[in-house]
Chain A
Amino acid sequence: MVDEKKLQDKAKETLIRDDVRRLIGWKRSTYGYEAAPAVLTDASQADQLIFDPTCVQNLASFISLEEKKPVARGAEPDTRKIAVMVKGCDSRAIVQQLVEKAYSRDDVVVLGIPCMGVIDRRKAEKLFGETAGQVSAKVDKEKVAVDIEGDVKTVDRKDILMDKCLRCRYPNPLVSDFLLGEEVEKWADDDFADVDDFEKMSPEEKWKHWDEQFSKCIRCYSCKSVCPMCYCVECVVTQLKPQWTRRSTDISENTAYHIQRAWHLAGRCIECMECQRVCPVDIPIMTLNRKMTRDVKEMFDYEPGVDPEGEPMLASYNPQDPEDYIM
């Protein structure tokens, strides 16, 4: 487990540095099962930082949101770094952003946190109901102890942790300047059984499933706003010239939107599951992303967010790529 005192001290130490502009971490939220993100600029604020299984949000999404203000004539641009706290899965987002040269390694200070899994709000609400109280939690190899305003409840890991944690292959950060806490042992593996199950359906059944799901979509674009890999300044789905998808929320445009989203994440998605977490209408968006991840791995032997020196999957090729469907 991560010692919060040590984490806060390290955060203070980082914020005092001259070359660090701000630090992004987690703080206790006012209510509910998810911790809130905290953007700190001063070392005196570091006492509010926490890390426990309620820290679900992927903070790597914030790095590319940093405002690039125009620089006045004669003035030097602000080149100070941004410090960010990452779990194992979030660190893959940073690796992938580095691969795509979204920023350089010198622009960020990565405070890595070995993670034992985080809570799924939907599962928790099913178990304990919605809460207006503050929640903290502890996790070990078998159980999760959820503390709702002093009322401690212990449940099995698989009943409350996010699905991504139950098949987590990278609990330790893949890239970090400082590691807060000891490395943890890997406890699971990913066999893509859910993708295989879905593939057993006939095309008609698949379309029936997606017809239902996509019809619910209200196109709030939460999934693309929260995604750490969706950092284009102008997104293809909102651009008007050319207009790829119209703004109406009918099944045609919704389907096109979701195909576009999944397509743009093909070979880039690092499975932090943020898109599915924030979806207000509970569309299983990750099903599409996981299908792409599985196929990319199978066909091109590529895994995003692992090798900072690697090349983006669709910007490279292998002459021996499969082409079994090509006439």
Chain B
Amino acid sequence: MTEEYEPNIVAFLCNWCSYAGADLAGTSRTHYLPNVKIIRVMCSGRVNPLFIVNALQQGADGVLISGCHPGDCHYLEGNFFARRRFMLMRKLLEHVGVDPGRVNMSWVSASEGAKFKDVVDDVVAKAKEAGPMDQFRRRQINW
């Protein structure tokens, strides 16, 4: 009996667009994969790139950061800062040898429930391809 590998995805969704988009996906009964664990943040600019490192250490196999489309940020420019940060962080993790498919970013607005489903499917597929994250996961979580 072999169970299929199911990756853990941590998603940081912005309160104003992507979280509402995920909500819309739910209320319109769109089935999106349950691998994704959602953390609501006020803005994608709130997400510290060290959150990603920390998530990968604590057992996530992939990370998704999602915010408003550029120009639509509730705080006007938060997602522009986030875009720079994660562009770089992704490159850095890639340089260390982490599969680039583990760090994902997307723009999902409040009306794009269907897009959210597609994004999640895509992220899960990439994480499945990359396999379990065992490079620098904490060996002992509780001590």
Contact = CB atoms under 8 A, between A and B. Distances in A.
Contacts of B122: 327
Interface string A32-64: 000000000000000000000000000000000
A262 B104 CA distance: 20
B80 A263 contact: no
A142 interface: no
Contacts of B57: 252-253, 256
A292 B98 contact: no
Contacts, number: 110
Contact of B84 (A244, A253, A300, A325): A300
Interface in B57-111: 57, 70-71, 77, 80-81, 83-85, 87-100, 104-107
28 contacts: A204-B97, A208-B97, A210-B96, A244-B50, A250-B139, A252-B136, A255-B136, A258-B96, A263-B50, A263-B88, A263-B89, A288-B92, A292-B88, A299-B87, A300-B84, A314-B81, A317-B77, A317-B81, A317-B83, A317-B84, A318-B80, A319-B70, A321-B80, A321-B83, A322-B87, A323-B87, A326-B106, A327-B122
Contacts of B94: 203
Given A287-B95, A292-B91, A317-B83, 16 more contacts: A198-B95, A252-B138, A255-B136, A259-B53, A260-B53, A263-B49, A266-B92, A267-B88, A291-B91, A292-B88, A315-B81, A322-B87, A323-B87, A325-B104, A327-B119, A327-B122
Contact of B50 (A258, A260, A317): A260
Contacts of B92: 259, 262-263, 266, 288, 291-292
B54 interface: yes
A317 B106 CA distance: 18
Interface of B: 49-50, 53-54, 57, 70-71, 77, 80-81, 83-85, 87-100, 104-107, 119, 122, 135-139
B14 to A, nearest CB: 14
B119 to A, nearest CB: 5
A299 B100 CA distance: 17
A296 interface: yes
Nearest to B91: A295
A207 interface: yes
A244 B48 CA distance: 11
A295 B139 CA distance: 32
A22 B54 CA distance: 42
Size category of the A interface is 35 or more
Nearest to A267: B88
B54 A244 contact: yes
A5 interface: no
Contacts of B136: 251-252, 255-256
Tell me if B's interface is mostly helix, strand, loop or mixed.
helix
B84 A203 contact: no
Contact of A326 (B77, B85, B105): B105
Nearest to B85: A314
B97 A203 contact: yes
Nearest to B96: A210
Nearest to A258: B96
A252 B139 contact: yes
Contacts of A327: 104-107, 119, 122
